[in-house]
Structure 1
Amino acid sequence: MAVTISDVAHAAGVSKGAVSYALNGQPGVSDATRERILRVAKDLGWKPSLRAKGLSSAKAYALGLVVARDPKLLGTDPFFPAFIAGIETTLAEHDYTLVLSVATAAGAEERAYRKLADGGRVDGVILTDVRHNDSRIGLLRELSLPAVTLNRPDPDSPFPAVCMDDTDGITAAVEHLISLGHRRIGHVGGAQEYIHGRSRREAWESAMTRAGLAADLFAEADFTAPGGVAATAELLGRTDPPTAIVYANDLMATSGQSYAQTQGLNVPGDLSVTGYDNAEFTQYLNPPLTTISTDAMRWGSVAAQALLDQLNGTHSGEDTVLQAPALLVRASTGPAPATSIPHTSSP
């Protein structure tokens, strides 16, 4: 059975009030008595009740995460499970829990944030998939709900951000393909409303322009496998199709690579492919996927810690910048084919 304050009080020979003062760091007991109570509590294996702590401190001891994407994505895109695992790893160390909401219907996202705030269910939230002119920044300010954002929003934001520059990784992928002789390099990007979707496209465009190459092979998708297939089919169906494609995540790269192979193309003989995220399964593909290596679990862990520091009043107020991702070359990229590949039909 769980050890109670009454058990600690009996073993230490003091009142329950004295135990409460000692365990909560409040005045009312001498230093010697406080030390004895804390020693007895530790020996008995006493652990605080989060419910009791919440009632006494007006804290929920929970953080919120609202994901406005298709629920299927949480099970298929390796980024989210790893990111959530990173959050949970940090929260477990501080006796906090994570409240996850998936909001896809019209207006559901705003309702989710209001419910978390109005009901006092969470002490703060982690904001992912930051968008251009993100309306959630104003909403959270209105709700007085502390937050940490993944990357710095473009509107004025009072919240600290945990940033990871994806420019270097995309640039390295393009330069790697150029060094292999590719000149027709396409990009399958994520939704352009997202800051990271647009920044990866802009990095691809800039690298192509600096090399004196046309950046005319862009197809917008949605970070999902079906989206990756559709965008790949669209690019390969053009009159002058790409000999290489840089994808904005591994899921789209994997589905795009598979689609190309079903169309009779050899990867990398006819088409080179690069991904983004370095999901574990990508090393077991045939051929293994060249990708940009990130650490989603660390991103989640650092974001959770930044929010906890903000809640505790110990955050510096400065953004946290994580190490930039690096290109990991595998067998899905190779020399450009001697002749252009034939364009394919739609799936």
Structure 2
Amino acid sequence: MAKETIAGLAKRLGISKASVSYALNGQSGVSDLTRRRVLDLAEELDWYPSSSARALSRSRAGAVGMVLSADPALIGTEPYHMGLLAGIEAALAESDTALMLRMVGNDPAQEHAVYERWAGERKVDGVLVFDHLLDDPRPALLDRLGLPFVLHGTPETGAPPAFSGTTTDHDVDAATIIDHLHDAGHRRIGHVSGPHRLLHEKERIRGVRERAASHGMEVVQYEANYALQAGHDAAVTLLRPSETPGAPMTAMVFGNDLMAMGGLLALRELGLRCPDDVAIISWDDSLHCRLAFPAVTALSRNPGMQGRVAAELLLDLLDTGTIRTTSMPPGELVVRASTATV
């Protein structure tokens, strides 16, 4: 049987097509009784308006966009982004909003081109932006394109927000990690971070150095790219005496779980034991950390919750136009066998 139309619903109920449209799309202009009659009939007929008709009636696309500037192979294996996506989808599903996802590698021009195309074609109502950059050009670009956006994971500054987003106090998370290592007796550690162009990594590096300095600890920093092989190579380099002369390095902090797994592999290749020779901490917790041998101490940051909050902020921005920021709770250190007293 052919799908019923709004005109058909109106004829069955003896009311105008406009009244049916108002009732189905939650708009004013009809009484509660009429709205109830329309919705009851639609449910009886297992009928719902097409997404295109709904978008036209609301002047909305019914979708939000998200561009990830990273290697798709890395995104597919990194639990943090998968957790974020799960939280985002959970929030969007509740509002019947679709997610358009693009992975464009590490070329900023491709990310900008996607935003321009989405804005020109009115494909999305707004966008979720991740990995705040130093001197980030994207907020100005999105403002120029008229695309509302939420930027996830910016450092807390205490200043009035310039745009909607989630904020993280990286100093608190850095202190949690460094205090744990200090209390376990470590005095010289390696810190394998993600790319320095990311604002949150700059804040983490500063937080680690300042907290370590307050304890009289030395930190040797290494820039990597979040991949397992990068963690492996970083550990091999930092644990080679010729590369980092001085007192033995007894602990390593990795910017995510995949790099921490690479660090464990490197220790085995070098004939070193974890935690007896070198302790390991990951800035992100995941199933990888729990199943590794030894299990890896990690900072639990609940990416699913973070993704949900970011999506809810965007939905609220689209509905009200209100700029808001939400502070993410500090990470909780889950202590496992990879850290021990030296």
Does the residue aligned with 1:152 lie in a helix, a strand or coil? strand
Indicate the residue corresponding to 2:99 in structure 1.
Answer: 98
Distance 1:151 1:28, change over 3 A: closer
What does residue range 81-160 of structure 1 map to in structure 2 within 5 Å?
81-104=82-105, 105=107, 107-152=109-154, 158-160=162-164
Q: For residues 287-345 of structure 1, what are the alpha-carbon distances to aligned partners after superposition, in whole Å with 9 as ceiling and x for unaligned?
A: 00000001111111110110010000164x33101211111100001122xxxxxxxxx
Residues 91 and 304 of structure 1 are in contact (CA less than 8 Å); yes or no, is this contact kept in structure 2? Answer: yes
How far apart, CA to CA, are the structure 2 residues paired with 1:40 and 1:263? 71
How far apart, CA to CA, are the structure 2 residues paired with 1:196 and 1:229? 22
Distance 1:17 1:182, change over 3 A: closer
How far apart, CA to CA, are the structure 2 residues paired with 1:75 and 1:48? 34
Distance 1:27 1:70, change over 3 A: closer
Distance 1:152 1:283, change over 3 A: closer
Residues 298 and 335 of structure 2 are in contact (CA less than 8 Å); yes or no, is this contact kept in structure 1? Answer: yes
Does the residue aligned with 1:63 lie in a helix, a strand or coil? strand
Moved over 6 A (4+): 153-157
Indicate the residue corresponding to 1:339 in structure 2.
Answer: none
Is 1:227 the counterpart of 2:234? The answer is no
Residues 69 and 108 of structure 2 are in contact (CA less than 8 Å); yes or no, is this contact kept in structure 1? Answer: no
How far apart, CA to CA, are the structure 2 residues paired with 1:33 and 1:244? 68
Does the residue aligned with 1:191 lie in a helix, a strand or coil? coil
How far apart, CA to CA, are the structure 2 residues paired with 1:4 and 1:232? 64
What does residue range 1-347 of structure 1 map to in structure 2 within 5 Å?
4-6=5-7, 8-25=9-26, 29-104=30-105, 105=107, 107-152=109-154, 158-215=162-219, 217-237=220-240, 238-240=244-246, 241-313=248-320, 315=322, 317-336=323-342
Distance 1:324 1:106, change over 3 A: closer
Distance 1:321 1:156, change over 3 A: closer
Does the residue aligned with 1:107 lie in a helix, a strand or coil? helix
Q: For residues 40-88 of structure 1, what are the alpha-carbon distances to aligned partners after superposition, in whole Å with 9 as ceiling and x for unaligned?
A: 2334333232111112332111111111111111112111111111111
Q: RMSD of the TM alignment (CA)?
A: 2.2
TM-superposed CA distance for 1:135, in Å, is 0.9
- Percent identity over the alignment is 37
Distance 1:230 1:12, change over 3 A: same
Distance 1:25 1:289, change over 3 A: closer
Residues 267 and 273 of structure 1 are in contact (CA less than 8 Å); yes or no, is this contact kept in structure 2? Answer: yes
Does the residue aligned with 2:93 lie in a helix, a strand or coil? helix
Segments of 5+ residues of structure 2 without an aligned counterpart are none
Residues 195 and 224 of structure 2 are in contact (CA less than 8 Å); yes or no, is this contact kept in structure 1? Answer: yes
Q: For residues 150-201 of structure 1, what are the alpha-carbon distances to aligned partners after superposition, in whole Å with 9 as ceiling and x for unaligned?
A: 1337899732111232332222221111111111111111111111111111
Residues 169 and 325 of structure 1 are in contact (CA less than 8 Å); yes or no, is this contact kept in structure 2? Answer: yes
How far apart, CA to CA, are the structure 2 residues paired with 1:270 and 1:33? 74
Does the residue aligned with 1:76 lie in a helix, a strand or coil? coil
Residues 232 and 256 of structure 1 are in contact (CA less than 8 Å); yes or no, is this contact kept in structure 2? Answer: yes
Segments of 5+ residues of structure 1 without an aligned counterpart are 337-347
Does the residue aligned with 1:99 lie in a helix, a strand or coil? strand
